[in-house]
Amino acid sequence: MNVLIVEDERSLAREVETFLKKLFYTCEIAFTGNEASEKIAVNLYDFILLDLGLPDYDGLDLLSEAKKHNPEAACIILTARGSIQDRVKGLDLGADDYLPKPFSLLELQSRMQAIARRKFDLHSPLIALGEFSLDLTRRILSHHGTEITTITRKEFDLVSYLVLHKNRTLTRMQLNEHIWGSLITDDYDSNYIDAHIKNIRKKLGVFGNTDWLETVRGVGYRIRIGQG
């Protein structure tokens, strides 16, 4: 998942980035409100971690921009401004959670996981995919209980992101941006995603049927779960 960290305290921003990258999140940092505003206007994020106390921007205004340009992004306010008024206003503007500084990185992880469970209606981290199963917590893809070790990190990220958006078609651009991060060029319709999907089907096809991983011609891909 793609995360934007908006934090002017550089050491804290880097600490959060390092921690989340170890959990296989793709991260970007904006040290100023103006930089964050530019990123939010052109990129898509799954999570926006937002410091309200920015020197050049009102964090609540930035939150409003985030909800306008990234309506599906989950926003967590990270701030030393602990007044009830700030907290209520932030939540009223659409923030999904509020974590006062100083905070534990493990608590941040827990809050993000809880938001993801609510957002994607997950009752268990273990997802059945035909003959296969995907463990989102342990990051294991298995066939009848046998772990498939040939799957790479990015291939797992691709399958798991499609699983989170089960039965919904995602474009190649969406998959590129949410798994690889911001698009540097306009070649988002390159064969990166197609090549990864081909490799996934080849590796899993050795074990069983992968009809649940569907190509939507001219659009992108989807994983079909629980439909006839």
Residues 9-37 have pLDDT tens digits of 999 999 999 999 999 899 999 999 999 99
Of 95, 120, 145, which residue constitutes the final position of a domain?
120
Mean pLDDT (whole number) for 58-79: 91
228 assigned to some structural domain: no
Q: Which pLDDT score, from 0 to 100, does residue 188 have?
A: 46
Q: Which pLDDT score, from 0 to 100, does residue 121 have?
A: 83
Residue 182: give the domain boundaries.
Answer: 126-223
> Is the separation of the CB atoms in 197 and 215 below 8 Å?
yes
Mean pLDDT (whole number) for 209-227: 91
Q: Which residue has the higher pLDDT, 81 or 156?
A: 156
| Residues 144 and 42 placed together within one structural domain of the fold | no
Q: What is the SS3 assignment for 59?
A: helix
| Residues 105 and 214 placed together within one structural domain of the fold | no
Measured distance CA(172)–CA(150) in Å, rounded: 23
Measured distance CA(96)–CA(192) in Å, rounded: 32
Burial of residue 121 (CB within 10 Å: 0-12, 13-18, 19+) is: exposed
Q: Which pLDDT score, from 0 to 100, does residue 89 have?
A: 80
Q: Which pLDDT score, from 0 to 100, does residue 82 have?
A: 60
**Tokens read off for 205:** 């096809």
* CATH label of the domain that carries residue 163: 1.10.10.10
- pLDDT above 70 (res 102): yes
The residue type found at 151 is I
| Residues 62 and 93 placed together within one structural domain of the fold | yes
- First and final CA of the chain: distance in angstroms? 29
* Residues 6+ positions from 143 with CB-CB distance below 8 Å: 131, 132, 133, 204, 207, 208
Mean pLDDT (whole number) for 146-152: 95
| Residues 99 and 157 placed together within one structural domain of the fold | no
Q: What is the DSSP string of 128-184?
A: EETTEEEETTTTEEEETTEE-TT--HHHHHHHHHHHHTTTS-EEHHHHHHHHH-S-S
